[in-house]
Structure 1
């Protein structure tokens, strides 16, 4: 079976740069979280909100651009909408407490992780290396569970964990983007 000619692979390959953009946004967000630890909670909320909003907008673009070729485009759409809603909540309610922010991030991480795993299961028939998306999803779920389990760890620790999570997810998405870029898109 030549996976490069399957519809979902073609849809992703034609928008490989969107995966790259998502990965670069995640890496930039993670590096800011690491190297600017003295930022206030309000700035952290705005950074997270902007990251989630960008992730949601890019995800919606990917979902709708691939809907003609893929019956399961709605999984990508749910993933994107959850990111978009969390981003909007963070940006329009910046006065939330650190604990509420922690719960918001934890829930978002679990939801997106589960949806990434679901997308990878669907992609396993069409794309080699889907394990990267499974790994990304599993790390998201574990990250969310860890935040719910240890809410008193402190905002600085949360900031470092968010940074590590974002950089790792970003690197995996960049690798995946260059992998699917190599597929030829048929006209």
Structure 2
């Protein structure tokens, strides 16, 4: 399984980079309209969903990839919904983002639990999932908070999650390189 994951480490890197870019845009462009935030969120959720779904189809045969497929489908559906209704109110967008964060966070935690025996740092996926769930719950609990605070929370969440994905991607790449070097050593040793 490590070989398959490490060959596609760049998918996690792209997902992380898109999340960081989305977060930076949200932080440094706080006066954006609900429409612009909807489009940015829709684009992020759609790209993240496509890469998650691609990862589910490229996984290791015999290993459960359902959690990744469900996360991908949820991301794609939420992205499409955000594009279909760009005039949605801030509350509706906030509830969509909160629901998406909770669902994907739970699925990331499930994935981390399943990968804990295969990947030493699977806990990073679990932490990312826990951060996502906490973020989603906070948005559900305080929906009337100021728009600027919500934009900053979304930006910070995306940057933290993206940074964790980028770190995990490079860790997967290193694991793949070590596994490849180990195989070469056994082959010629």
Alpha-carbon distance, 1:71 to partner:
2.2
- 1:106-185 pair list within 5 angstroms: 106-182=98-174, 183-184=176-177
Q: Which moved more, 1:148-157 or 1:166-175?
A: 148-157
Unaligned residue ranges in structure 1 (runs of 5+) = 1-6
Alpha-carbon distance, 1:67 to partner:
4.5
Residue 39 of structure 1: aligned partner: 32
Q: TM-score, normalised by structure 1?
A: 0.92
Matched, 1:62 2:38: no
Alpha-carbon distance, 1:113 to partner:
0.2
Alpha-carbon distance, 1:38 to partner:
1.2
Unaligned residue ranges in structure 2 (runs of 5+) = 184-189
Larger radius of gyration: 2
Alpha-carbon distance, 1:160 to partner:
0.4
SS of residue matched to 1:152: coil
Alpha-carbon separation, structure 2, partners of 1:71 and 1:174: 23
SS of residue matched to 2:144: helix
* Runs of 4+ residues deviating >3 angstroms: 184-187
